Amino acid sequence: MTEMGNHPRLQDRADSREGVPFLPDYVLFLLASTSAAASEEFHAEVRANGLRVPEWRVLACLSDADGQMVTRLAALSLMEQSRLTRIIDQMDARGLVERRSDAADRRRVRVFLTPAGADLARRMIDKARAHETALLDRLPGGSGRELKRLLRVVYRELCADD
Amino acid sequence: MTEMGNHPRLQDRADSREGVPFLPDYVLFLLASTSAAASEEFHAEVRANGLRVPEWRVLACLSDADGQMVTRLAALSLMEQSRLTRIIDQMDARGLVERRSDAADRRRVRVFLTPAGADLARRMIDKARAHETALLDRLPGGSGRELKRLLRVVYRELCADD
């Protein structure tokens, strides 16, 4: 059976309701499926380096801006705050991050990379950039780079709505 | 604090490692974040209609091609098969889908929409199409429709690799 692939291509079908198949022409399906298919290879590399995907996301977020609050990290890494709190506990225990009180407001807690965490973040970001280059090179006729340019526009627009 | 938004925009920062912030220029981050932000509004509508997001995905998949196997539905709806099996059990109990043996191979089980499930699928697809039109109209200068065109190219390419 060819039906077992992880990201099967939907075939156009003439016999669906109203004669028009829905999912292959639905932008939210295309976004979610393309995101999953594109991320899958790199996530395997993340796990091969002893990290879970949420841990990699936290390292990458803190590498761009160290000392973030958990609320902000949860939003950037697309995770429920309760789940992220447990992940940060585990990363703290492994010596990758540490919590410190905000200098201006002691009730606020911020998360910082340790030197070991910063080093691991740097190495994983190098791998992520290499994977991205290979991925974009593989897509036909510059479509990957054009997709990235448009995603920057759309991401800014959607997130500016908040 | 403005740090509490669900999908905050990353600011370019000149002070990150190597002087170049990573995430705002990383295509897997842009894909995942744009997908999450774009889906969020419609998923609220899905829940307001008494469905969970995975249930909506199953209805949409079956509406395009009824009588699929669970392995294929899991791949299309981006879910672990074990989780999807439980969701199909619950949808079966609600009278939205039913399992039947494959005509040619009785060991294979296929999932079909009931008339009630097909009716709900049709109504939700109409809502999804309306939401998509509004979303694409909102994005500046045709960028949404161009993004959709490119996603179709990239989706085909990534999924043809399987």
| Domain of residue A38, CATH code | 1.10.10.10
Set of chain B residues whose Cβ sits within 8 Å of the Cβ of A26? 60, 128-129, 132
Q: Which one has a higher pLDDT value, A14 or B128?
A: B128
Task: Please tell me the pTM assigned to this model.
Answer: 0.84
Residue B1 lies in a domain: no
Across B86-105, average pLDDT: 94
Domain count for chain B: 1
Strand, coil or helix: B110: strand
Mean per-residue pLDDT of chain B: 87
Across the interface, whether the CB atoms of B4 and A75 are under 8 A apart is answered yes
Q: What is the pLDDT of residues B30-39, one digit of tens each?
A: 999 999 999 9
C-alpha torsion angle, residues A82, A84, A89, A95 (rounded to 10): -170
- Give the domain extent around B46: 17-153
For residue A10, pLDDT beyond 70 = no
Q: Which one of B34, B68, B111, B122 makes the best mutation probe of the A interface by having the most chain A beta carbons within 10 Å?
A: B34
Across the interface, whether the CB atoms of B157 and A138 are under 8 A apart is answered yes
Residue B33 lies in a domain: yes
Residue B10 lies in a domain: no
Residue A73 lies in a domain: yes
- The vertex-B11 CA angle with B9 and A88, nearest 5°, equals 75
Helix axes B143-160, B115-138, angle to 10 degrees: 130
Residue B6 lies in a domain: no
User: Can you tell me the distance from the alpha carbon of A127 to that of B31, in angstroms, rounded to the nearest whole number?
Assistant: 18
For residue A54, pLDDT beyond 70 = yes
Strand, coil or helix: A56: helix
Cβ–Cβ contacts within 10 Å for residue A95, how many? 11
For residue A49, pLDDT beyond 90 = yes
Residue B91 lies in a domain: yes
Q: What is the pLDDT of residues B5-23, one digit of tens each?
A: 344 444 444 444 456 799 9
Residue A138 lies in a domain: no
Nearest CA-CA partner of A10 in B160, B57, B18: B160
Set of chain B residues whose Cβ sits within 8 Å of the Cβ of A112? none
For residue B161, pLDDT beyond 60 = no
Residue A153 lies in a domain: no
